[in-house]
């Protein structure tokens, strides 16, 4: 039953990447079933991990303020590991930035970066710099955004296609903010879209399309 619940969680991850967020055969349904089984088995850490993924699912459907509240609760949840609590703190910042409060977001993202360095989690550390770059960009601090995304690019290594798409999308967002780098941003965004299409990352593809449309609207 434990293996079955873990498989359901992985299924939820896959469906979330595919953009199947709510309803039958969705990520939310898979996560909910996994949570029920882990609860019946008396595995509180697994329950908390799945509940954290449900908060991510909520953020991805646009409930940014509600997701930020849930992440803040998980940041101090003793059921979770130090890494998961640090990720929760990072995601508070991500949700706040999307909700239109990038200055406050930075106050959560920067401590998460410090914690990832203590924990020796290079991938999370790099991802946190991506989030910091986007928060600075939303706050109008293009210099800070460029510096932070530069750190993430230097630390990128050989990541998964999903990590590649997320980093390229974030970098494109920064490049599109400056007319001098706009063309490079559009090229990188198209590359990210090609990888997202190839691997069926429909949620990421939708984000790329939204970014392109928003840029065209500003132009």
User: What kind and span of H or E run contains 196?
Assistant: helix 182-198
> At CA 144, angle to CA 192 and CA 196, rounded to 5?
10
Residue 204 confidence (pLDDT) above 80: yes
User: What kind and span of H or E run contains 10?
Assistant: helix 2-17
| 94 closest CA partner among 123, 124, 122, 50 | 124
> At CA 20, angle to CA 112 and CA 1, rounded to 5?
80
Predicted TM-score of the model (pTM): 0.89
Q: What is the pLDDT of residues 4-24, one digit of tens each?
A: 999 999 999 999 988 899 999
Q: How many helices, marked H, and strands, marked E, lie in the chain?
A: 11, 0
Residue count of the chain: 219
Percent of the chain past pLDDT 70, that is, above it, reads: 99
Say which DSSP state 22 is in.
S
**What's the token pair of residue 6?**
């873990």
User: What does the domain layout of the chain look like in residue ranges?
Assistant: 1-61, 63-133, 158-219
Q: pLDDT value at position 138?
A: 93
Q: Which conformational region is residue 160 in: left (phi greater than 0), alpha (psi within -120 to 50 degrees), or beta?
A: beta
Please answer whether residues 13 and 203 qualify as being in contact, where contact means their C-beta atoms are separated by less than 8 angstroms. Answer: no
- Enumerate residues 6+ apart whose C-beta is below 8 A from 96: 64, 68, 102, 104, 105, 108
Q: What is the pLDDT of residues 94-152, one digit of tens each?
A: 999 999 999 999 999 999 999 999 999 999 999 999 999 999 999 999 999 999 999 99
Q: pLDDT value at position 219?
A: 60
Residue 196 confidence (pLDDT) above 80: yes
Please answer whether residues 165 and 196 qualify as being in contact, where contact means their C-beta atoms are separated by less than 8 angstroms. Answer: yes
């Amino acid at each position: 039953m434990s293996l079955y619940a873990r498989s359901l969680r992985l299924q939820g991850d896959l469906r979330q990447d595919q953009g199947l967020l709510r309803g039958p055969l969705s990520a939310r349904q898979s996560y909910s079933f996994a949570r029920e089984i882990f609860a019946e088995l008396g595995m509180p850490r697994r329950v908390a991990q799945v509940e954290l993924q449900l908060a991510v699912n909520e953020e991805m459907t646009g409930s940014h303020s509600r997701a930020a509240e849930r992440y803040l609760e998980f940041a101090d949840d003793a059921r979770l590991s130090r890494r998961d609590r640090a990720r929760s703190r990072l995601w508070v910042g991500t949700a706040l930035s999307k909700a239109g409060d990038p200055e406050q977001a930075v106050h959560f993202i920067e401590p998460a970066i410090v914690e990832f360095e203590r924990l020796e989690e290079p991938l999370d550390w790099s991802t946190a710099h991506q989030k910091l770059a986007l928060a600075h960009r939303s706050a109008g601090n293009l210099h800070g955004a460029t510096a932070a995304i530069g750190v993430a690019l230097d630390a990128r290594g050989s990541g998964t296609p999903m990590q590649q798409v997320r980093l390229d999308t974030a970098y494109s967002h920064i490049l599109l903010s400056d007319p001098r780098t706009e063309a490079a941003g559009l090229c990188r965004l198209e590359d990210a879209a090609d990888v997202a299409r190839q691997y069926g990352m429909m949620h990421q593809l939708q984000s790329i399309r939204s970014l392109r449309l928003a840029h065209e609207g500003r132009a």
